[in-house]
Amino acid sequence: MFTLRWGTQLSQKLHPYQRKRTDAVPSTGSQRTLKVAVVGAAGGIGQPLSLLLKHHPHIETLVLHDQENVKGIAADLSHIDTSAVVQHFQGPKKLALALKGSDIVVVPAGKPRKPGMTRADLLDANASIAVAVANAVSTACPGALLAFITNPINTIVPIVAEILKSKAVYDPRRLFGVTTLDVVRSKTFLGESIGVEPEEVTIPVIGGHAGLTILPVLSQCDPPFDGDEAERLSLFHRIQEAGTEVVIAKAGRGSATLSMAYSGARFVDSLIRGIKMEGGDEGVVECTFCESDVSEAKFFASPVILGPQGVKEHLEIPCLDDLEKAALKCLIPILKKNIEAGIKYGQSAVVCGF
């Protein structure tokens, strides 16, 4: 029988990250049925992501939204012999209706990065999508867990936060930038280097979700990575530029879609595991980009424990060696600049009434 491997429980083998603080929240019980909406379901990430989510045993209703072509995709998915009911909505006027009552909204919508395209170019193309989704969520499902795949994550998430604040529905526990792909890539590349199955590798990836802001904490890898400095720097670079590796390989025909869809589905599963957490469960650990005070940056990708209300607990930044401390010092100013750009864009969008 075909099965999918979903998220990582805290009780499994993980590094003993020092806990920072806990926001206690009650359990919602294991019998809750869930409605999950995919915004951008017809795209290169949205289609395989929706396929993976159709298989999830705890999703009762899977909603697909896009600007076009979503009806056929919904019909295709609805023929799969799993119990999730597929609904579809098309066009900007149907966005709020599509999201109404959703427990989780995951957003892969947006233009992909092409060769020569900068993150600033992506922001110009995709920021309006973030604003539209944030506005729709504020009225249709303000209590939903909101996970953005749309790039550039470092700037998109702060934009969404500002829009939600303006609507008085912002809860930092519920807004996420999906950086799971950085962890997935790190596990894959380290598995190849160490000579073990990637599923056996545990590594936190912190910082942001673009270039030098991505910081794989190789010193905390389990099994240990004992490469020399040249090997470590090479691995650092490959993980940070893995997205560009795919863009170049696709020769102008897109960016990472299948690996991103897998990573997005894994993160959604972790959110679901958190929602369905029983009273005695400790929760689910994922690295994600969200608002916190674990670093000098207002938003930061780091390990969190997920619970029924989203982020249950922020974990301390893992112990860093000298090379990683230098990398963190380097990335913070870049990340702060990305975040500030997002805050300014979001505030401007509020003033202009977008």
As annotated, the active-site residues are 209
- What ranges make up the beta strands (E) of the chain? 19-22, 34-39, 59-66, 85-90, 104-107, 145-148, 175-177, 205-207, 214-216, 284-291, 299-307, 310-315
CA 129 vs CA 5, 71, 116, 157, 307: distances in Å: 31, 20, 22, 12, 28
150 is in an annotated binding site: yes
66 is in an annotated binding site: yes
* CA–CA gap between residue 297 and residue 336 (Å, rounded): 6
127 is in an annotated binding site: no
Burial class (CB in 10 A: 0-12, 13-18, 19+), 166: middle
42 is in an annotated binding site: yes
243 is in an annotated binding site: no
119 is in an annotated binding site: yes
Single-letter code of the amino acid located at 264: G
149 is in an annotated binding site: yes
Single-letter code of the amino acid located at 97: L
* Residue 59 β-bridge partners: 34
283 is in an annotated binding site: no
45 is in an annotated binding site: yes
126 is in an annotated binding site: yes
* Residue 299 β-bridge partners: 291
22 is in an annotated binding site: no
135 is in an annotated binding site: no
- In angstroms, how far is the first alpha carbon of the chain from the final one? 48
Phi, psi of 352 (to 5 degrees): -80, -5
* Whether the Cβ atoms of residue 294 and residue 316 lie closer than 8 Å to each other: yes
* CA–CA gap between residue 189 and residue 69 (Å, rounded): 36
230 is in an annotated binding site: no
91 is in an annotated binding site: no
185 is in an annotated binding site: yes
* CA–CA gap between residue 76 and residue 73 (Å, rounded): 5
144 is in an annotated binding site: no
Distance of CA 132 to the CA centre of its chain: 18
Which residues are documented as binding site for NAD(+)? 40-46, 66, 126, 149-151, 260
Annotated binding site for substrate: 113, 119, 151, 185
Binding residues: 40-46, 66, 113, 119, 126, 149-151, 185, 260
